[in-house]
Structure 1
Amino acid sequence: MAIGLGLLGLKFFEVAPVAAWDWWLVLAPFAMAAAWWHWADSSGHTQRKAMEAMDEKKAQRRQRSLEALGQGEAGKKKPRK
Protein backbone atom coordinates (compact mmCIF):
# COMPACT_ATOMS: atom_id res chain seq x y z
CA MET A 1 0.00 0.00 0.00
CA ALA A 2 2.79 2.43 0.88
CA ILE A 3 4.50 1.83 -2.45
CA GLY A 4 1.22 2.34 -4.28
CA LEU A 5 0.50 5.56 -2.41
CA GLY A 6 4.01 6.80 -3.12
CA LEU A 7 3.73 6.05 -6.84
CA LEU A 8 0.27 7.60 -6.95
CA GLY A 9 1.60 10.78 -5.36
CA LEU A 10 4.54 10.92 -7.76
CA LYS A 11 2.21 10.43 -10.74
CA PHE A 12 -0.28 13.03 -9.46
CA PHE A 13 2.41 15.67 -8.91
CA GLU A 14 4.08 14.72 -12.21
CA VAL A 15 7.48 13.85 -10.78
CA ALA A 16 9.84 12.27 -13.31
CA PRO A 17 10.21 9.42 -14.24
CA VAL A 18 6.90 8.23 -12.76
CA ALA A 19 4.97 10.94 -14.62
CA ALA A 20 5.77 9.22 -17.91
CA TRP A 21 4.61 5.78 -16.71
CA ASP A 22 1.27 4.32 -17.73
CA TRP A 23 -1.46 4.38 -15.09
CA TRP A 24 -1.66 0.60 -14.93
CA LEU A 25 1.96 0.50 -13.67
CA VAL A 26 1.20 3.10 -11.01
CA LEU A 27 -1.94 1.27 -9.85
CA ALA A 28 -0.41 -2.24 -9.97
CA PRO A 29 0.66 -2.25 -6.27
CA PHE A 30 -2.97 -1.71 -5.26
CA ALA A 31 -4.05 -4.71 -7.34
CA MET A 32 -1.30 -6.83 -5.81
CA ALA A 33 -2.34 -5.75 -2.30
CA ALA A 34 -5.96 -6.65 -3.04
CA ALA A 35 -4.87 -10.06 -4.38
CA TRP A 36 -2.77 -10.65 -1.25
CA TRP A 37 -5.66 -9.74 1.07
CA HIS A 38 -8.02 -12.00 -0.86
CA TRP A 39 -5.58 -14.92 -0.64
CA ALA A 40 -4.80 -14.31 3.05
CA ASP A 41 -8.48 -14.21 3.98
CA SER A 42 -9.58 -17.15 1.84
CA SER A 43 -6.70 -19.41 2.90
CA GLY A 44 -7.18 -18.70 6.60
CA HIS A 45 -3.73 -17.09 6.93
CA THR A 46 -5.14 -13.99 8.61
CA GLN A 47 -7.17 -15.97 11.15
CA ARG A 48 -4.22 -18.28 11.93
CA LYS A 49 -1.95 -15.31 12.61
CA ALA A 50 -4.57 -13.72 14.87
CA MET A 51 -4.98 -16.99 16.79
CA GLU A 52 -1.20 -17.40 17.18
CA ALA A 53 -0.92 -13.87 18.55
CA MET A 54 -3.79 -14.51 20.97
CA ASP A 55 -2.23 -17.79 22.15
CA GLU A 56 1.12 -16.07 22.71
CA LYS A 57 -0.52 -13.31 24.78
CA LYS A 58 -2.41 -15.94 26.79
CA ALA A 59 0.80 -17.88 27.51
CA GLN A 60 2.62 -14.71 28.59
CA ARG A 61 -0.29 -13.71 30.85
CA ARG A 62 -0.34 -17.19 32.41
CA GLN A 63 3.43 -17.11 32.98
CA ARG A 64 3.21 -13.69 34.65
CA SER A 65 0.41 -14.94 36.90
CA LEU A 66 2.38 -18.03 37.92
CA GLU A 67 5.46 -15.93 38.68
CA ALA A 68 3.35 -13.53 40.74
CA LEU A 69 2.15 -16.51 42.79
CA GLY A 70 5.72 -17.79 43.19
CA GLN A 71 5.08 -20.89 41.08
CA GLY A 72 6.74 -19.86 37.84
CA GLU A 73 10.28 -20.53 36.63
CA ALA A 74 11.68 -17.70 38.76
CA GLY A 75 9.91 -18.96 41.87
CA LYS A 76 10.98 -22.62 41.70
CA LYS A 77 13.20 -23.88 44.48
CA LYS A 78 16.41 -25.69 43.67
CA PRO A 79 16.28 -29.38 44.52
CA ARG A 80 18.25 -30.43 47.60
CA LYS A 81 21.05 -32.93 47.22
Structure 2
Amino acid sequence: MYMLVLGIALSLLKYLDIAPVAQWSWWWVLTPFALTILWWAWADSTGYTKRKAMEKMDQRKKDRLDKQKQALGMQPRKPR
Protein backbone atom coordinates (compact mmCIF):
# COMPACT_ATOMS: atom_id res chain seq x y z
CA MET A 1 0.00 0.00 0.00
CA TYR A 2 2.89 2.34 0.76
CA MET A 3 4.31 1.81 -2.71
CA LEU A 4 0.95 2.73 -4.25
CA VAL A 5 0.80 5.97 -2.26
CA LEU A 6 4.40 6.73 -3.22
CA GLY A 7 3.59 6.11 -6.90
CA ILE A 8 0.59 8.43 -6.76
CA ALA A 9 2.63 11.14 -5.01
CA LEU A 10 5.50 10.88 -7.50
CA SER A 11 3.09 10.95 -10.46
CA LEU A 12 1.42 14.05 -9.07
CA LEU A 13 4.78 15.76 -8.50
CA LYS A 14 5.88 14.88 -12.04
CA TYR A 15 2.60 16.08 -13.56
CA LEU A 16 2.74 19.40 -11.67
CA ASP A 17 6.42 19.92 -12.65
CA ILE A 18 7.70 20.13 -9.09
CA ALA A 19 11.47 19.78 -8.74
CA PRO A 20 13.42 17.47 -8.49
CA VAL A 21 10.84 14.94 -9.71
CA ALA A 22 10.15 17.04 -12.81
CA GLN A 23 13.57 16.12 -14.25
CA TRP A 24 13.19 12.39 -13.58
CA SER A 25 12.27 9.97 -16.31
CA TRP A 26 8.70 8.65 -16.31
CA TRP A 27 10.18 5.16 -15.86
CA TRP A 28 11.46 6.09 -12.39
CA VAL A 29 8.19 7.76 -11.48
CA LEU A 30 6.11 4.74 -12.51
CA THR A 31 8.38 2.12 -10.87
CA PRO A 32 6.40 2.09 -7.56
CA PHE A 33 3.28 1.04 -9.49
CA ALA A 34 5.14 -1.92 -11.01
CA LEU A 35 6.45 -2.91 -7.57
CA THR A 36 2.91 -2.69 -6.17
CA ILE A 37 1.61 -5.01 -8.88
CA LEU A 38 4.42 -7.48 -8.17
CA TRP A 39 3.69 -7.38 -4.43
CA TRP A 40 -0.03 -8.01 -4.94
CA ALA A 41 0.64 -10.85 -7.36
CA TRP A 42 3.05 -12.48 -4.88
CA ALA A 43 0.72 -11.97 -1.91
CA ASP A 44 -2.23 -13.51 -3.75
CA SER A 45 -0.28 -16.43 -5.20
CA THR A 46 1.29 -17.45 -1.88
CA GLY A 47 -1.91 -17.13 0.16
CA TYR A 48 -0.51 -14.29 2.29
CA THR A 49 -3.63 -12.16 1.81
CA LYS A 50 -6.03 -14.97 2.77
CA ARG A 51 -3.94 -15.92 5.79
CA LYS A 52 -3.91 -12.33 7.09
CA ALA A 53 -7.67 -12.02 6.57
CA MET A 54 -8.28 -15.28 8.47
CA GLU A 55 -6.00 -14.19 11.33
CA LYS A 56 -7.89 -10.90 11.59
CA MET A 57 -11.25 -12.71 11.59
CA ASP A 58 -10.06 -15.18 14.25
CA GLN A 59 -8.84 -12.33 16.46
CA ARG A 60 -12.17 -10.51 16.14
CA LYS A 61 -13.99 -13.72 17.07
CA LYS A 62 -11.76 -14.26 20.11
CA ASP A 63 -12.21 -10.65 21.23
CA ARG A 64 -16.00 -10.94 20.86
CA LEU A 65 -16.10 -14.15 22.91
CA ASP A 66 -13.87 -12.64 25.62
CA LYS A 67 -16.11 -9.57 25.78
CA GLN A 68 -19.22 -11.74 26.17
CA LYS A 69 -17.58 -13.84 28.89
CA GLN A 70 -16.52 -10.71 30.72
CA ALA A 71 -20.09 -9.37 30.52
CA LEU A 72 -21.30 -12.60 32.14
CA GLY A 73 -18.75 -12.21 34.92
CA MET A 74 -16.55 -15.03 33.72
CA GLN A 75 -12.85 -14.59 33.23
CA PRO A 76 -11.55 -15.34 29.73
CA ARG A 77 -9.36 -18.40 29.58
CA LYS A 78 -5.63 -17.83 29.70
CA PRO A 79 -3.61 -19.04 26.72
CA ARG A 80 -1.85 -22.32 27.27
TM-score by length of 2: 0.86
- Structure 1 residue 2: deviation in Å? 1.0
Counterpart of 1:79?
none
Counterpart of 1:25?
28
Q: How many residues align?
A: 73
Counterpart of 2:11?
8
Look at both structures and tell me which one has the larger radius of gyration over its CA atoms.
1
1-structure distance, mates of 2:19, 2:67: 55
Note the aligned Cα RMSD (angstroms).
0.9
Structure 1: state its 5+ residue gaps.
Answer: 74-81
Structure 2: state its 5+ residue gaps.
Answer: none
Mean Cα deviation higher: 15-24 or 49-58: 15-24
Amino acid paired to 1:58: K
2-structure distance, mates of 1:66, 1:17: 58
2-structure distance, mates of 1:45, 1:33: 15
Question: Residues 26-53 of structure 1: CA distance to partner in whole angstroms, max 9, x if unpaired?
Answer: 0000000010000001100000000000
- Structure 1 residue 70: deviation in Å? 1.6
TM-score by length of 1: 0.85
